[in-house]
């Protein structure tokens, strides 16, 4: 009996503590106190559960003496309701508008702020909305509650940026979505991407849109230095249009004081670029670089028309004359810096007289001066300049992003991940619109990853390989004028993925000369350094290597025998010129290796006026290298660039004597094993 009385006293105390947290719902008047306790929200449940843990323990027999069967059953129900939310529960998408109260706040409007659960104890997988919503630019401090920006792409931009935008129309189903995290003070915990209500498992950037309307949802969970959890989400409506010409532009109907106006624009249909004509006030406007334009504006309305095929879009940009007499002079610009100390100047002038300018740095007003020195915090810093004479008001804002170069994000290293190597260099500038690249991809144990498990995309469009063998995979990249993004991925049998992204700018010269390459024809393995010495030849945009070779051989009086055509499957079988082999002197050391490795070898097995495949030995023939690398594709698939060094070399044994073994399947097709010999001749 004593324990029963103690239990009742404890239960009444719990109810008194929890009543402020109770969300009252219609109940029958004869509900007991225990029934009322079961209607508590999650906050009340958590407190009640903690109290139950410390409550006096009673045996089943004692509870049976002091409680009725109905109360015992209700207690079991209550315990079930108090069960904490599972951490592996799938989160539900909330539709809470920005700056509105959350679902739980509406249920418990009178809940004291002091009883809110802290961020450190929040269940980030819970479908319940967090206890507070902060603006997206609010600083995160030790006592900040959880932050959530729910389904608002504009607010999410303070945390991450993407290469897609809400309301976008795309023209290719296969798309690479890039997510760039912009707040260096936060650590990414989890990224969940959902396309048309389907979660993309192991998201690596690739998405496939369905024709018509698509909904892309990106949710990122961060953690800050104080171990607070930050949940950010954004939803984008994206339309896939495969049949029409789609014009994409940054243009809007706008009003500006500036005399120039910059914008970007391009036109696509089914993933292919379509010619775009741009006019301003009836005059043609040419692109400056890539898809960017700069228009000179006249006072008043300026009409900009974008036309591609049957598709046309018209925009009006209005230039107004300055109607204020206040001018702010400052050296501030939006920028990214790598040191925390920052200095700038700011002054306001009206009719040649200085007037007061108010300067705010991260919402803190600075003392007036002609120059200012501040210490930046990690991430984005806002500087606002405000000048007024009581009638006119001028305000300017600048964003300074500080990224500490000494802090490097430590990413977990997967020692079992594949490795990827390529001769493509990030930041390359190409004169012309075609570039060939090679990719060497291997598993963690060094096993070659073949072309079927390698994917290359240029500006979001997949590119097939032109050749794949036991050494490397080669691709021909057709670039667009201006900036290009090349994504390369390779994966192993277990699904581990390695990914690299490169940026390449290209210059379209409309079929003209893009530069010069240096080409030579060599017979060093025969003791003849050059049949054709290094010669500079003009390279034209889109010209195949076979046409360059054909002109060079004819220029030096050679004829040749080949298979295939200049445009496809070209193979140089032999070249001919009178008495071209009258000075053959094969080094003895090399000939010994050739005899040992060949099934047929004879120093007398050749024609004085010709040199080609199978001369001297069964592994002999012509090969070529570009900038020291032997490609695994033929001359008809080679496109030379300005500055390339091309060496056409004769080999006595599948390239092992000139450092080219394994290229183009040489040796592999003859069941040849091994590697290059220790030296080149």
Q: Is 551 helix (H, G, I), strand (E, B) or coil?
A: helix
Same-domain status, 519 and 476: no
**Any domain includes 90:** no
Cα dihedral 72→74→75→79 (10° resolution): 140
Q: What pLDDT was estimated at residue 397?
A: 86
Q: Are 219 and 133 found together in one domain?
A: yes
CATH of the domain at 527: 2.170.130.30
How confident is the model at residue 535, as a pLDDT? 92
Q: Are residues 19 and 48 in the same domain?
A: yes
Helix (H) or strand (E) holding 476: strand 473-478
pLDDT in tens, 530-581: 999 999 988 887 788 888 899 899 999 999 998 888 888 888 989 999 999 9
Give the list of residues 6+ apart from residue 664 with CB closer than 8 angstroms, or none. 467, 469, 623, 630, 631, 632, 633, 634
pLDDT digits (tens, 9 = 90+) for 417-433: 888 888 888 888 888 88
Give the separation between CA 554 and CA 543, rounded to whole angstroms: 17
Alpha carbon 621 to its chain centroid, in Å, reads: 44
| Domain end among 459, 483, 507 | 507
- Do both 545 and 597 map to the same domain? yes
The reported pLDDT for the residue numbered 323 is: 58
pLDDT at 434: 83
Higher pLDDT, 345 or 110: 345
State which H helix or E strand residue 8 sits in: helix 2-18
Residues 132 and 230 in one domain: yes
Percent of the chain residues past pLDDT 90, beyond the cut: 15
pLDDT in tens, 135-157: 333 333 334 444 555 445 556 77
Is the per-residue pLDDT at 361 higher than 90?
yes
Closest CA to 256 of 315, 305, 301, 313: 301
Is 460 within a domain? yes
Cβ–Cβ < 8 Å for 13, 47: no
Which of 292, 319, 346 corresponds to the end of one domain? 319
Residues 363 and 435 in one domain: no
Please report, for the domain that includes residue 171, its CATH number: 2.60.40.10
Report pLDDT for 522: 92
Of 78-87, 162-171, 264-273, 605-614, give the lowest mean pLDDT range: 78-87
Tally of domains within the chain = 6
Assess if residue 678 is contained within a domain.
Answer: no
Asked if residue 645 is part of any domain, the answer here is yes
Residues 522 and 631 in one domain: yes
649 band by pLDDT with thresholds 50, 70 and 90: very high
pLDDT at residue 195 greater than cutoff 50: yes
**In the predicted model, what is the mean pLDDT of residues 489-510?**
85
End-to-end CA distance of the chain: 104
**Token representation of residue 559:** 């004829």
**Last residue of a domain, which of 402, 431, 463?**
402
Q: Does the reported pTM lie above 0.85? A: no
Residue 397 is part of which domain span?
326-402
Mark whether 641 and 549 lie in a shared domain: yes
Same domain, 595 and 636: yes
Would the pLDDT of 198 be above 50?
Answer: yes
Going by C-alpha positions, the residue among 377, 420, 384, 430 that lies closest to residue 402 is: 377
Residues 575-616 have pLDDT tens digits of 999 999 988 899 888 889 888 888 888 888 888 999 998 899
Q: Are residues 197 and 284 in the same domain?
A: no
Q: Residue 357 in contact with residue 332, Cβ under 8 Å?
A: no
User: Does residue 409 fall inside a structural domain?
Assistant: no
Least confident of 37-46, 235-244, 345-354, 503-512: 37-46
In a domain, 673, yes or no: no
Q: Round to whole Å and give the CA distance between 641 and 636.
A: 15
Q: Is residue 676 part of a domain?
A: no
Three-state DSSP class for residue 12 = helix
The CATH number for 304's domain is 2.60.40.1080
Task: With a cut of 80, say whether residue 85 has pLDDT above it.
Answer: no
Task: For the beta carbon of residue 291, count every other beta carbon within 10 angstroms.
Answer: 20
> Hey, what are 506's tokens?
């290209």
Q: Does residue 43 lie within any of the structural domains? A: yes
Claim to verify: residue 490 and residue 529 sit in the same structural domain: no
Mean pLDDT, rounded, of the chain? 74
Quote helix, strand, coil % in the chain, to nearest 5.
15, 40, 45
Mean pLDDT in residue range 117-125: 33
Give the residue-averaged pLDDT of 12-30. 44
Question: What pLDDT, on a 0 to 100 scale, did the predictor assign at position 481?
Answer: 87
* Per-residue confidence (pLDDT) for residue 430, from 0 to 100: 83
Give me the pLDDT at residue 154, please. Answer: 57
The pLDDT value recorded for residue 11 is: 56
**Does residue 638 share a domain with residue 518?**
yes
Q: What tokens appear for 642 in the block?
A: 């300005």
Point out the least confidently predicted range of 146-160, 425-439, 482-496, 645-659.
146-160
Asked if the model's pLDDT at residue 500 lies above 70, the reply is yes
User: Distance from CA of residue 225 to its chain's centroid?
Assistant: 25
Question: Which residue has tokens 């500490």?
Answer: 404
Higher pLDDT, 151 or 238: 238
Q: Work out the average pLDDT over 57-80.
A: 42
């Amino acid at each position: 009996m004593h324990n029963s009385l103690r239990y009742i006293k404890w239960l009444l105390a719990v109810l008194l503590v929890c009543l402020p947290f109770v969300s009252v719902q219609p109940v029958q008047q004869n509900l007991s106190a225990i029934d009322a306790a079961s209607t508590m929200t999650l906050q009340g449940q958590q407190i009640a559960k903690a109290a139950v843990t410390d409550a006096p323990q009673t045996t089943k027999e004692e509870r049976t003496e002091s409680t009725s069967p109905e109360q015992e059953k209700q207690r079991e129900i209550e315990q079930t309701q108090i069960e904490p939310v599972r951490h592996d529960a799938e989160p539900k998408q909330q539709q809470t508008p920005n700056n509105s109260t959350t679902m739980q706040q509406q249920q418990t409007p009178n809940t004291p702020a002091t009883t809110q659960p802290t961020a450190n104890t929040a269940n980030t997988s819970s479908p319940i909305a967090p206890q507070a919503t902060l603006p997206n630019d609010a600083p995160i401090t030790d006592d900040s509650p959880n932050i959530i920006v729910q389904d608002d792409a504009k607010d999410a931009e303070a945390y991450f940026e993407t290469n897609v935008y809400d309301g976008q129309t795309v023209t290719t189903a296969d798309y690479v979505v890039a997510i760039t995290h912009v707040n260096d003070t936060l650590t990414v915990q989890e990224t969940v991407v959902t396309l048309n209500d389907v979660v993309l498992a192991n998201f690596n950037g690739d998405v496939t849109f369905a024709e018509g309307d698509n909904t892309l949802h990106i949710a990122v969970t961060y953690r800050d230095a104080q171990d607070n959890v930050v949940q950010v989400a954004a939803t984008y409506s994206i339309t896939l249009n495969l049949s029409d010409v789609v014009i994409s532009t940054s243009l809007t109907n706008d009003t500006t004081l500036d005399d120039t106006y910059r914008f970007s624009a391009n036109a696509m249909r089914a993933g292919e670029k379509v010619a775009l004509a741009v006019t301003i006030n009836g005059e043609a406007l040419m692109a400056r670089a890539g898809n960017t334009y700069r228009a000179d504006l006249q006072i008043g309305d300026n009409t900009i028309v974008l036309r591609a095929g049957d598709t046309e879009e018209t925009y009006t940009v209005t230039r107004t004359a300055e109607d204020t007499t206040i001018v702010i002079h400052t050296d501030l610009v939006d920028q990214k810096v790598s040191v925390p100390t920052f200095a700038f100047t700011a002054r306001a002038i009206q009719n040649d007289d200085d007037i007061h300018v108010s300067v705010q740095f991260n919402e803190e007003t600075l003392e007036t001066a002609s120059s200012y020195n501040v210490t930046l915090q990690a991430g984005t810093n806002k500087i606002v300049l405000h000048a007024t004479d009581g009638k006119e008001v001028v305000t300017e804002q600048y964003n300074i992003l500080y990224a500490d170069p000494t802090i490097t994000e430590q990413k977990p290293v997967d020692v079992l991940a594949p490795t990827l190597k390529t001769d493509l260099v990030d930041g390359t500038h190409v004169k012309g619109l075609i570039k060939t690249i090679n990719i060497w991809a291997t598993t963690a144990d060094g096993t070659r990853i073949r072309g079927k498990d390698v994917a290359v995309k240029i500006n979001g469009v997949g590119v097939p390989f032109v050749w794949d063998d036991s050494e490397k995979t080669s691709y021909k990249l057709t670039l667009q004028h201006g900036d290009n993004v090349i994504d390369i991925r390779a994966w192993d049998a277990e699904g581990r993925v390695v990914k690299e992204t490169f940026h390449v700018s290209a210059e379209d010269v409309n079929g003209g000369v893009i530069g010069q390459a240096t080409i030579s024809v060599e017979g060093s393995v025969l003791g003849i350094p050059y049949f054709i010495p290094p010669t500079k030849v003009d390279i034209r945009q889109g010209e195949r290597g076979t046409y360059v070779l054909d002109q060079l051989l004819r220029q030096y009086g050679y004829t040749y025998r080949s298979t295939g055509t200049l445009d496809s499957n070209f193979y140089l079988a032999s070249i001919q010129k009178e008495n071209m082999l009258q000075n053959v002197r094969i080094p003895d050391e090399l000939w010994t290796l050739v005899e040992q490795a060949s099934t047929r070898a004879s120093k007398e097995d050749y024609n004085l006026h010709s040199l080609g495949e199978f001369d001297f030995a069964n592994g002999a023939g012509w090969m070529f290298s570009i900038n020291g690398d032997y490609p695994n594709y033929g001359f008809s698939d080679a496109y030379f660039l300005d500055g390339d060094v091309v060496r056409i070399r004769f080999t006595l044994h599948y390239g092992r004597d000139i450092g080219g073994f394994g290229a183009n399947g040489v040796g592999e097709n003859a069941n040849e094993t091994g590697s290059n010999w220790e030296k080149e001749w």
